[in-house]
Amino acid sequence: MAQTNLLSADPLSLETIRGTLIRLEETIIFSLIERGQFALNPTIYQKGAVAQLKELGFQGSWLEWFLAEIESFHAKARRYTSPDEYPFTSNLPAPLLPPLQFPTIFHPNTVNVNPTILNFYIHFILPRITANATQALAAKKRAEGVQGAAEWEDDGNWGSAATVDVSVLQAISKRVHYGKFVSESKFRSKPSAFIPHIQAGNRQALEDLITKPEVERALLHRLRKKASLYGQEIGPDGEPLVNGKNGVNGTNGHAENEKAKAKIDADVVVEIYESWLIPLTKEVEVDYLLQRLDGLSEKEIEAFMSQPAK
């Protein structure tokens, strides 16, 4: 996963934030590619569907158990003391290591959209990125005489699928909650532009202040390029495979009017960002701003209002 050294770099520098978000794009794309090699495996997302977990007294899903186990270990290694990390599991153990002295970055807030991230990942993202593997599994099962709903069950790779699920979820969570860094950076650069809208609870005005359409267009264009490039199947000679071969009829080069075999559909990656990640990040940004003045005195707010724009 993309990492930012919050102890050395200026965490609220727009350059630092932009660099982290761009690296997270690659982490997310590669994780989606890894998850796409397995079928949907719907059983592992159903609460109470795994008898062995129920015997342990765990009533959640296989993925929820996986998250709890992995995040418990990460919590002991103080992962969630970092201001850019948000667990999906509650009641985690305390860190074994002494705390690091991170700079004060955020105003105290309660913004955490991980429950939403988990929900849209299971119901929106997974069916799209696993479609090819799930269809291949169904064809294989039909050839073996299996018909009906059983065609679409799972390929048995519960551990492997959940391991990648955790990686995807953690990367998406970090990306979405990085909206707090964006909001805090922009608020500090010109508090007077935000404070009246915060006091009025005007969500639309705050969203307009933080939205840069040209940046979003560039992001989606970059994502499509990255997903198209990283999703290519490369042959032994380093050339992209077309219909399972290097070029046309096994020769090198790109086949005219042919589409190179891809490990992930670039349109799906763009849709995930455009329909979910970008809107949810904006929601985090606005929710954070609406809590930005909580607990401040009138004198402190007036001091913010009098600050010159940076």
Q: What are 128-167's pLDDT values in tens digits?
A: 999 999 999 999 999 999 988 888 778 999 999 999 999 9
From CA 285, how far away is CA 21, in angstroms rounded? 14
From CA 305, how far away is CA 300, in angstroms rounded? 9
Here the tokens at position 232 are 């290519």
239 lies in some domain: no
Range with lowest mean pLDDT among 10-24, 56-70, 232-246:
232-246
Domain of 295 in residue numbering reads as: 14-98+106-234+261-306
Range with lowest mean pLDDT among 123-137, 169-183, 201-215, 241-255:
241-255
Q: Report CA Rg, the chain.
A: 23
Helix (H) or strand (E) holding 245: strand 245-246
* First vs last C-alpha separation in the chain: 32
**Residue 194 is which amino acid?**
F
Helix (H) or strand (E) holding 213: helix 213-230
145 lies in some domain: yes
246 lies in some domain: no
pTM of the shown model: 0.90
71 lies in some domain: yes
Q: What is the mean pLDDT of the chain?
A: 91
Q: What is the CATH number of the domain that holds 161?
A: 1.10.590.10
Report phi then psi at 242, rounded to 5: -120, 120
Here the tokens at position 242 are 């077309």
Range with lowest mean pLDDT among 86-95, 118-127, 151-160:
151-160
Range with lowest mean pLDDT among 96-110, 140-154, 240-254, 284-298:
240-254
Distances (CA, A) of 6 to 9, 24, 104, 178, 215: 6, 16, 10, 13, 24
Range with lowest mean pLDDT among 161-165, 207-211, 247-251:
247-251
256 lies in some domain: no
Residue 119 DSSP symbol: H
Collapsed DSSP state (helix, strand, coil) of residue 240: strand
245 lies in some domain: no
Distances (CA, A) of 82 to 15, 170, 181, 188, 294: 20, 13, 13, 21, 22
46 lies in some domain: yes
58 lies in some domain: yes
252 or 65, higher pLDDT: 65
Structural domain tally of the chain?
1
Whether the Cβ atoms of residue 179 and residue 282 lie closer than 8 Å to each other: yes
Helix (H) or strand (E) holding 16: helix 14-35
